[in-house]
């Protein structure tokens, strides 16, 4: 898949309604691993506040949220976070989700690869993805995007109302030429 099928955009206030609709539509599909994002986009007014928070974090280069817009429909169909950025260590984490109607097309892998390349061009050297082993789609995206499994992180993430989960750590380092 190529970016000719979708566009990666920084999310801004103008996309608030679309972001709210996308997350509301995929609440069950994304709920376990994106509870904070879901809570912050429950209403349009909350979504506007969330995007304003993101704009502030972006201006400080602390976090970036990108949207995936499908060319065939013009709809916002996914999100990718570049988060937990440590400029001293030159590390960051990626997290991503795509509309259930667009999964298994290779678009998420292509978008994660593209955002990873952008992160390396910004000066980051090490990127990580943390995924649960049962989330086969996320594990597949990590591997297809050039991330290598590193280790299991014990009790790394606690979904709402559940016991802590062990998560898998995938790492991709910038190739120095």
Domain containing 121 equals 6-173
Q: Does a structural domain hold residue 75?
A: yes
Whether the predicted pLDDT of 45 surpasses 80: yes
On whether residue 91 sits in a domain, the answer given is yes
Does pLDDT of 177 surpass 90? no
The tally of domains found in the chain comes to: 1
When pLDDT is averaged across residues 34-53 and rounded to a whole number, the result is 95
Instruction: Determine, yes or no, domain membership for 19.
Output: yes
Instruction: Look at residue 138 and tell me if it is in a domain.
Output: yes
CATH of the domain at 59: 3.40.630.30
pTM: 0.92
Q: Does 164 reside within a domain?
A: yes
92 is a domain residue: yes
- Reference 122, options 54, 64, 51; nearest CA is 64
- Flag whether 165 is in a domain: yes
Q: How far apart are CA 96 and CA 83, in angstroms?
A: 11
Look-up of token digits 């992160």 = 119
Q: Going by C-beta distance under 8 Å and a sequence separation of 6 or more, which residues neighbour residue 154?
A: 166
Rounded Cα distance between 166 and 114, Å, is 28
Is residue 1, in this structure, part of any structural domain at all? no
The CA distance from 132 to 142, in Å, is 11
Mean pLDDT (the chain) is 94
pLDDT (average), residues 156-174: 95
pLDDT in tens, 62-72: 999 999 999 98
Region 68-79 average pLDDT = 93
Over range 18-40, report the average pLDDT.
94
Cα distance between residue 81 and residue 37, in whole Å: 11
């Amino acid at each position: 898949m190529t970016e000719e099928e979708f566009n990666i955009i920084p999310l801004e206030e103008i996309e608030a309604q679309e972001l709210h609709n996308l997350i509301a539509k995929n609440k069950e599909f994304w709920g376990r691993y994106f509870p904070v994002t879901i809570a912050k986009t429950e209403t349009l007014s909350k979504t506007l506040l969330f995007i304003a928070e993101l704009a502030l974090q972006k201006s400080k280069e602390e976090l970036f949220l990108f949207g995936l817009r499908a060319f065939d429909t013009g709809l916002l169909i996914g999100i990718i976070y570049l988060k937990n950025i440590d400029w001293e260590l030159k590390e960051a984490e990626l997290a991503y989700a795509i509309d259930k109607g667009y999964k298994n097309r290779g678009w998420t892998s292509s978008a994660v690869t593209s955002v990873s390349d952008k992160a390396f061009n910004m000066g980051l050297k090490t990127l990580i993805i943390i995924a649960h082993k049962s989330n086969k789609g996320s594990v597949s995206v990590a591997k297809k995007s050039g991330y290598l499994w590193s280790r299991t992180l014990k009790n790394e993430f606690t979904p709402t109302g559940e016991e802590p989960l062990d998560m898998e750590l995938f790492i991709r380092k910038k190739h120095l030429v």
